[in-house]
């Protein structure tokens, strides 16, 4: 059976604080987040922008989080105002995964990797 693996990467800048954290991460600070999206499927799909089934999913849908916060993304936002949970790197990756999954076909296996710093990252899949 054929399989396609789509990869795309983007960055966004955002502030956050980890409520209840005993240390400097409990104070508001910012990061330049790097995100790698991997979408894998055994079948191709149409998209909002292409009627024929010729793509795993549209890169636009995978990169929604890179948009400015006033346009529905996470760039230049306070993550604590965007998310209804803790803003740890683990929860940010989970949030991006869940929001992206709403935008793409159900037959896609999605993996989200979020770098909070150059040498600290988390990978989330379900």
pLDDT in tens, 87-116: 999 999 999 999 999 999 999 999 999 999
> Following DSSP, what letter does each residue of the chain receive, concatenated?
---EEEEEEEEEEEEE--TT-SSGGGS-EEEEEEEEEEEEESS-EEETTEEEEEESS-HHHHTGGGSBGGGTS-BTEEHHHH-SS--SHHHHHHHHHHHHHTTS-TT-EEEEEEEEETTEEEEEE-
Question: What is the structure's pLDDT at 91?
Answer: 98
Position 1 pLDDT exceeds 90: no
**For the chain, which domains are there?**
4-125 (3.30.479.10)
Question: What is the structure's pLDDT at 23?
Answer: 96
**Tell me: the pLDDT tens digits for 14-25?**
999 999 999 999
- Mean of the pLDDT values across residues 51-73? 97
Position 62 pLDDT exceeds 90: yes
pTM reported for the whole predicted model: 0.96
- Mean of the pLDDT values across residues 40-68? 96
Percentage of residues in the chain having pLDDT higher than 90: 98
**Is the separation of the CB atoms in 89 and 60 below 8 Å?**
no
State the average pLDDT for the chain: 97
């Amino acid at each position: 059976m054929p399989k396609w693996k789509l990869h795309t990467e983007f960055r966004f800048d955002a502030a956050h604080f980890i409520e209840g954290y005993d240390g400097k991460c409990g104070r508001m600070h910012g990061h330049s987040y790097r995100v790698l999206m991997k979408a894998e499927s055994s079948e191709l799909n149409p998209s909002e922008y292409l009627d024929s089934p010729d793509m795993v999913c549209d890169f636009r849908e995978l990169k929604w989080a890179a948009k400015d916060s006033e346009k529905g993304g996470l760039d230049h936002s306070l993550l604590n105002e965007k998310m209804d949970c803790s803003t740890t790197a683990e929860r940010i990756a989970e949030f991006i995964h869940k929001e992206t999954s709403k935008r793409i076909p159900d037959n896609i296996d999605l993996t989200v990797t979020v770098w909070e710093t150059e040498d600290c990252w988390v990978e989330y899949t379900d």
